[in-house]
Chains A and B, each alone.
Chain A
Amino acid sequence: MTRYKKQDPEITRRKFINAAMGTSAGVGVLSLVSALGSAKPVFRLTADVAPPMKGDVLVHAEGPNQGQVVKASELSEKLVRAYPKGRDSKGNEVIRDKDPTNILAVYKFAPGTLKEPTKLDATIDAQIVAYGDRCMHAGCNVGDDPKGVGQMFCPCHSGQYDATQGCRVTGGPPPAPLPQLPIKQEGDQLVVTGFFLSQPYGFTKEAWEEYIKKVEEAMA
């Protein structure tokens, strides 16, 4: 008579349950990750979020003249905030104010005030100059500092810029100068002649170059 000998099962009960639980937990978590994808909406490059580009006209961003064209004759050493106004794919006029990075600061200084590193050939007669107005540190809007002509001050973390010297950083945490926007004068209007000369807030140098290439393709 042979004795029946109990064989060890190939897999223990504990092992089986652990494997089953692990698999279902993995699948469950993975399925939730896909739901996370819906949290981030797709970015669509429309005319109202596109950056200021060649041919745009500057319009007032605030105050009683909001939406009206900025006239060269009404500019002064006081900051004027403007948005670029361009055209969408159907040819309708559209103010590009849906991206806060498009906000611009426009100044007109006395002759001889604007110095390097301002790109003087991108200004109007070395007098009228436009910069992106979003602080390079945390993206707040930079305002005038009463301390001196062309001095700019960010109210959020007290970053300081000098608008007469290419908006170089003169104090506080900003890591880079405000980007200059090349402009020319047509009649009394200010017209943009190209993209920001350096990266605006929220972009690295490479990311900005990549982005303007994408914009050029999309808007062509």
Chain B
Amino acid sequence: MNQWLDERLHISRLNDKFLRKAFPVHHSFFLGEITLFSLIVLIITGILLALAYEPSNSLVVNSFDPGTADKQNLIPAAYHSALKINAMPFGDMLRRVHHWMANIMVAAAVIHMMRIYFTGAFKKPREINWWIGMLLLIFAALTAVTGYILPYDNYAFQTVGVVYAIVKSVPWVGDWLAQAAFAGQFPGAGIIPRIYGYHIMLLPGILLALTGAHMLIMIKQKHTQPQYAKRLAYKKIVGVPLMTQQTPIMLILALLFTGLVMLFAAYIPVHPIEVFGPPSSTPIPNIKPDWYLLWVFGALAIIPGNLGFELFGGEINAEFIGAMVFPGLVIGLMFAVPMLDRAKDNQYYAENPTNHPVRLAAGTAFMAFLLMLSVAGYKPDLIQAGLLTTANSNAILWILVIAVPVVIYFLTIGIVRMIRALREADERDSLAHAHADD
């Protein structure tokens, strides 16, 4: 059969070009793969969910609790179909797997990115792939946010209200932009069909295209080689080929990983839409975004609301600064990472993070910064728990957001110095002993 196909499609060229791609053998190189597997599972579960979902926010009678003839219990069709999915055999499980997989995809992508950053794998010639990776992260977050809204329970409703407010806060064009993006003034009659279109067509399309580019470039440029490859065969590509050695490893990993997530999802429910009920005017106490957007939420919570000012007839308000300008700066900094490196030569080998203490310390400080902002997102809870008061919360949280990263920065530098001093002492020792042996 191979020959039959080869004569028609020249698959041997495909084999030479792509299927023999060497994969370095190191556990940290599986993080990107886990992200990819999550995406595949998300697409499969997403298709199954789309088969039963009704993308409409027009009101229908709740078939589970129809009310009385003169006072019918009307709920949005989208929420109704989400209730029906929950009642369907394995339906709730599908929602859980889809939800947790999305969280894990972002987590795996973030850890994958940490590996790239700390080992210097973003350096020339791989800057383009760093940027594509950044875009993937941004679009993954956007896809997740739109997916959040689709069940259209009260939680989703309150969330989309805030998202609408953020879009609307853009100066000059915000009002138009928000109405165009969410099909009219909130909550427009077409809001769910619009977000459904984003979530199942537009954003996954972008994600898949970017993923394809990400991997083609990776195959073209090859992985950075782990340090052992340097000792094994200097400047040679070391690793196992995709076909047939890497493929079984990937299959085992994918299945095991999916199995674990399903096991996890079987025990840990996603947020209960029955409890939150259909969209209403009742606010939800301590409403929060998913963990990867908590830092933006935290920034919004501690930025003073009277920060706004007028500029050329547009209003730059605190909402815009906190939810657009500030995250834009943070993401811009992440985009700029490859440009901070001035090396002219191509990077072959993954670097030992301790050999680059400033980069390592800057990375950990950056993570501490985002973590502290996420803590600031818990401001209402901290106030309610009595740990902070309304008066001092902003000041204390601002001090934490600024001081903790600084401390972490110098702590990391100190620890790296210590490790290197120990390492050098070890080397001196072994040299001295080697002489003694002579």
Contacts and interface: CB of A to CB of B under 8 A. Distances in A.
Whether A and B are associated in the same complex: the answer reads yes
Contacts of B287: 140, 155-156
Contacts of A210: none
Given A39-B180, A100-B161, A137-B305, A155 B318 contact: no
Interface stretch (A12-20, A85-93, A171-179, A212-220): A171-179
A169 interface: yes
A171 B301 CA distance: 11
A189 to B, nearest CB: 20
A172 B305 contact: yes
B134 interface: no
Contacts of A175: 305-306, 308, 317-318
B379 A40 contact: no
A185 interface: no
Contacts of A1: none
Interface in A114-171: 133, 137-143, 153-160, 169-171
Q: In terms of DSSP, what is the predominant structure of the interface of chain A?
A: loop
Contacts of A141: 158, 281-283
B183 A156 contact: no
Given A41-B190, A100-B186, A141-B283, A158 B383 contact: yes
A156 B379 contact: no
A61 B281 contact: yes
A174 B305 contact: yes
A188 interface: no
Contacts of A160: 390
A138 B158 CA distance: 10
Contacts of B183: 39-41
A100 B281 contact: yes
B185 to A, nearest CB: 6
B380 interface: yes
A81 B380 CA distance: 22
Given A62-B281, A139-B164, A100 B380 contact: no
Contacts of A99: 185
Given A40-B184, A137-B319, A156-B158, A62 B282 contact: yes
Contacts of B185: 43, 49, 99
B301 A157 contact: yes
B89 interface: no
Interface of A: 36, 39-41, 43, 49, 61-62, 81, 99-100, 103, 133, 137-143, 153-160, 169-175, 202, 204
Across the A-B interface, the 4 shortest Cβ-Cβ residue pairs:
A173-B305, A40-B180, A141-B283, A171-B390
10 contacts: A40-B180, A41-B184, A81-B282, A100-B161, A103-B281, A138-B319, A140-B161, A140-B162, A155-B286, A156-B162
Given A100-B187, A141-B283, 20 more contacts: A39-B180, A40-B180, A41-B189, A41-B190, A43-B179, A61-B281, A137-B165, A137-B305, A137-B318, A138-B166, A138-B319, A139-B186, A140-B158, A143-B285, A156-B287, A158-B383, A173-B300, A173-B304, A175-B308, A175-B317
